[in-house]
């Protein structure tokens, strides 16, 4: 799974699932109700992506900055993650999905970490779609962590510092085993990256839509995939060069 997808169907889709709070506010519900409904969208999108032959789906569930939200909202989200893991892992495993969690997992509770590790172990040998869930994840943290590990290895004499190149950095990032996302979807109307996969999104096609995450369904997913299929990915080449590839 090395070459990026050009046109057609994306191999790897990344999603910034935004708009849960506004979905709830529009209905005079607490923000947490929006997160509850967001889980429903997650299930639908995971299933649809697997059906469409997407090889990897990376979902941004909780950012390193989201720790600064009100304590009740953070703890509700963490509880909802726990519940969702308990409810969904068996089914995902039966369907052959491989589950991975990325982010600063050491910041999570031991109970949550254990469930995550168990889910990763259980599904490690599956050959279906890889589902990556980014929790307590920040793109800058990811790059800094890779830099620290490379520095440690250089100091230990395992690698030469002048051999540290782009591929060495990439190999130490959280998504090291996967190709970069072909398509990024951000729901909820904002057009920003919010410290998601800063390195890996270098050449990703960006799709922004106003739909709030709890309202995002299969039709919206297909619109995003269709948008992707119309893009010519040039990777710095001229249109003529890229078309001939």
Q: In what order do the strands lie in the sheet with 130-137?
A: 98-102, 130-137, 56-63, 12-16, 183-186, 205-208
Which is catalytic among the residues 3, 20, 66, 125?
66
The answer to whether the CB of 183 falls within 8 A of the CB of 10 is yes
- CA dist 132 and 147 (Å) reads 22
- Of 18, 88, 142, 205, the one binding ligand IPE (CB under 6 A) is 18
Of the pair 44, 66, the CB lying nearest ligand IPE is at 66
194 contributes a contact to ligand IPE by CB under 6 A: yes
Of the pair 181, 188, the CB lying nearest ligand IPE is at 188
- Of 83, 90, 190, 222, the one binding ligand IPE (CB under 6 A) is 190
To ligand IPE, the closest distance from the beta carbon of 213 in angstroms equals 6
* 18 catalytic per annotation: yes
142 contributes a contact to ligand IPE by CB under 6 A: no
213 contributes a contact to Mg ion by CB under 5 A: no
32 contributes a contact to ligand IPE by CB under 6 A: no
To ligand IPE, the closest distance from the beta carbon of 188 in angstroms equals 5
Vertex 81: Cα angle to 28 and 27 (nearest 5): 10
Of the pair 49, 185, the CB lying nearest ligand IPE is at 185
The answer to whether the CB of 185 falls within 8 A of the CB of 207 is yes
- CA dist 182 and 117 (Å) reads 27
Query: How many residues sit close enough to ligand IPE to count as binding (CB under 6 A)?
Result: 19
18 contributes a contact to Mg ion by CB under 5 A: yes
Nearest to 78 by CA among 112, 31, 129, 49: 112
Identify how many contiguous H helices and E strands the chain contains and give both numbers: 8, 6
Q: Is 36 exposed, middle or buried (0-12, 13-18, 19+ CB in 10 A)?
A: middle
Measure Cα distances from 149 to 64, 66, 125, 165, 199 in Å.
Answer: 20, 25, 27, 14, 16
Which is catalytic among the residues 3, 18, 180, 220?
18
* 200 catalytic per annotation: no
- Of 62, 81, 101, 216, the one binding ligand IPE (CB under 6 A) is 62
- CA dist 125 and 97 (Å) reads 9
To ligand IPE, the closest distance from the beta carbon of 197 in angstroms equals 12
To ligand IPE, the closest distance from the beta carbon of 196 in angstroms equals 7
61 contributes a contact to ligand IPE by CB under 6 A: yes
Interacting residue ranges for Mg ion, rule: CB under 5 A: 18
Catalytic residues, by residue number, are: 18, 66
Interacting residue ranges for ligand IPE, rule: CB under 6 A: 16-22, 60-63, 65-66, 77, 188, 190, 192, 194, 213
């Amino acid at each position: 799974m090395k070459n990026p997808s050009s046109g057609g169907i994306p191999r790897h889709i990344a999603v910034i699932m935004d708009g849960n709070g506004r979905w709830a506010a529009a209905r005079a519900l607490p923000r947490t109700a929006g997160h509850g409904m967001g889980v429903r969208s997650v299930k639908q999108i995971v299933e649809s992506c697997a059906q469409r032959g997407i090889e990897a789906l990376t979902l941004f569930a909780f950012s390193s900055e989201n720790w600064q939200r009100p304590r009740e909202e953070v703890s509700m989200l963490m509880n909802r993650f726990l519940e969702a893991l308990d409810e969904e892992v068996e089914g995902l495993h039966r369907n052959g999905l491989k589950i991975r969690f990325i982010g600063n997992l050491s910041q999570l509770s031991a109970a949550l970490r254990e469930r995550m590790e168990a889910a990763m172990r259980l599904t490690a040998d599956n050959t279906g779609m890889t589902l990556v869930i980014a929790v307590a994840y920040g793109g800058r943290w990811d790059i800094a962590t890779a830099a620290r590990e490379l520095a440690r290895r250089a100091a230990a004499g395992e690698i030469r510092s002048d051999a540290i190149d782009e591929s060495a950095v990439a190999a130490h990032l959280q998504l090291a085993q996967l190709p970069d996302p072909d398509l990024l979807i951000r729901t909820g109307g904002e057009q920003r990256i919010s410290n998601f996969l800063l390195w890996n999104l270098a050449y990703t096609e960006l799709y922004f839509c106003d739909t709030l995450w709890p309202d995002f369904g299969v039709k919206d997913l297909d619109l995003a995939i269709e948008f992707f299929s119309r893009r010519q990915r040039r990777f710095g080449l001229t249109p003529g060069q890229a078309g001939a590839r």
